[in-house]
């Protein structure tokens, strides 16, 4: 049995549960309990605030956890980062009022910066030889310059909409973040084997995202051309059809290139094109 800590409610909560579900691990609906036994894997879920996950994992209260890289960096706990999970993407940036005459990071010398991430900010300031005041504030950091608490902010940015709405502009990106799977260092062999199984399942789900399985019929003399159109196809499956001169090609195609590829394939004579969703890619 392993214990996995995930955010009880918040931005990473639903996607953590979806990833587990797609990996064949069902989490009971009720989030009112701190601990819940999952179905489909020898695992229990510990629901925590995201800020508490790095310490829970570092101390062994949980064997593994799903949490933003930014939170792990801020807390400074010793954990093993096993894999990025492909959701919760954001960056931690310094932003200044639109009206500021910002010309480079030297501008920050002697200024006051409001943030909920003082450790990451102080580390970056020291690394860049900048001497600035760090003002810790929990929540609504973006309003600090307007109400005179600080000259700049250091906060999470994703679309950038919050900065624009508050008359701020992003001037320095300090770190990129997304949700990571972390684990307690030094787990015993039994737990390590279960974590490896979890990593294997997560990888197969994540690799199947953003790709489609495409099948089509094509004249035999157009197969080489079709292979050139299908991006990333190294070793296509080509099967003969009962009708002479025709064959069927099967391939995995990235979603962003899908429609362009299909239009080109139709032009060279592809017929009966089927696009199917992929649930897992087992490597």
Residues lying near ligand PRT in the complex (CB under 6 A) are found at: 7, 10-12, 49-51, 68, 70-71, 88, 90, 155-162, 177
Nearer to ligand PRT, 52 or 151 (CB): 52
Provide the mask over 44-63, with x wherever binding to Zn ion is found by CB under 5 A and - wherever it is not.
------xx------------
Report the nearest approach of ligand PRT to the CB of residue 238 (Å).
Answer: 43
Size of the site for Zn ion (CB under 5 A): 2
**Which is nearer to ligand PRT, 6 or 233 (by Cβ)?**
6
> Is there binding between residue 255 and Zn ion (CB under 5 A)?
no
Orientation angle between helical segments 13-22 and 189-208, nearest 10 degrees: 90
Name the one residue in this structure whose structure tokens are 């480079």. 104
Q: State the nearest-atom distance from the C-beta of 163 to ligand PRT, in Å.
A: 6
Distances in Å between the Cα of 174 and the Cα atoms of 11, 138, 263 are: 21, 19, 41
State which residue, 50 or 151, has the beta carbon closest to ligand PRT: 50
CB 76 within 8 A of CB 117: no
Nearer to Zn ion, 50 or 142 (CB): 50
Residue number, 92 or 194, with CB nearest to ligand PRT: 92
Q: How far apart are CA 250 and CA 93, in angstroms?
A: 44
155's contact among Zn ion, ligand PRT, none, with CB below 5 to 8 A by partner kind, is: ligand PRT
Q: Which does 63 bind (CB under 5 to 8 A by kind): Zn ion, ligand PRT, none?
A: none
State in angstroms the smallest separation of the CB of 195 from Zn ion.
24
Q: Give min distance, CB of 132 to ligand PRT, in A.
A: 20
C-beta of 50 vs 151, nearer to Zn ion: 50
92 contact choice in ligand PRT, Zn ion, none (CB below 5 to 8 Å, kind-dependent): none
The one of ligand PRT, Zn ion, none whose footprint includes residue 159, by CB under 5 to 8 A per kind, is ligand PRT
Residue with tokens 């996950």: 53
CB 49 → Zn ion: shortest distance, Å? 5
The arrangement of strands across the sheet holding 35-37 comes to 35-37, 43-48, 2-7, 64-68, 179-183, 80-84
Q: By beta-carbon distance, which residue lies closest to ligand PRT?
A: 68
On whether the CB atoms of residues 216 and 265 are closer than 8 A, the answer is yes
267 interface partner picked from Zn ion, ligand PRT, none, CB below 5 to 8 A per type: none
Q: Which residues bind Zn ion (CB under 5 A)?
A: 50-51
């Amino acid at each position: 049995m392993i214990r996995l800590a995930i955010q009880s409610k918040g931005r990473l909560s639903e996607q953590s549960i979806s990833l587990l579900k797609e990996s064949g691990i069902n989490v009971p609906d009720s989030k009112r309990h701190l601990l819940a036994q999952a179905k489909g894997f020898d695992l229990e879920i510990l629901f925590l605030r995201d800020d508490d996950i790095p310490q829970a994992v570092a101390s062994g209260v949980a064997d593994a956890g799903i949490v933003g890289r930014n939170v792990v960096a801020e807390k400074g706990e010793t954990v093993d980062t096993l894999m990025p999970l492909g959701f919760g993407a954001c960056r931690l940036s310094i932003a200044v009022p639109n009206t500021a005459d910002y010309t480079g990071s030297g501008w920050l010398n002697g200024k006051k910066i409001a943030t909920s991430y003082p450790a990451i900010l102080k580390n970056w300031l020291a690394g860049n030889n900048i001497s600035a005041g760090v003002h810790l504030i929990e929540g609504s950091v973006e309003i600090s310059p307007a109400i005179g608490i600080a000259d700049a902010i250091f906060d999470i940015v994703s679309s950038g909409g919050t900065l624009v709405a508050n008359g701020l502009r992003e001037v320095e990106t300090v770190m990129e973040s997304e949700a990571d799977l972390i684990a307690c260092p030094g787990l015993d062999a039994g737990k390590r084997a279960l974590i490896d199984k979890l990593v294997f399942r997560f990888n197969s789900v994540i690799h199947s995202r953003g790709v489609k399985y495409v099948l089509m019929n094509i004249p035999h003399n157009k197969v080489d051309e079709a292979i050139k159109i299908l991006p990333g196809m190294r070793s296509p499956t080509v099967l003969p059809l009962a009708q002479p001169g025709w064959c069927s090609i099967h391939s995995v195609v990235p979603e962003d290139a899908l429609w362009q590829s299909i239009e080109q394939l139709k032009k060279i004579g592809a017929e009966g094109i089927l696009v199917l969703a992929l649930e897992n890619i087992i490597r």
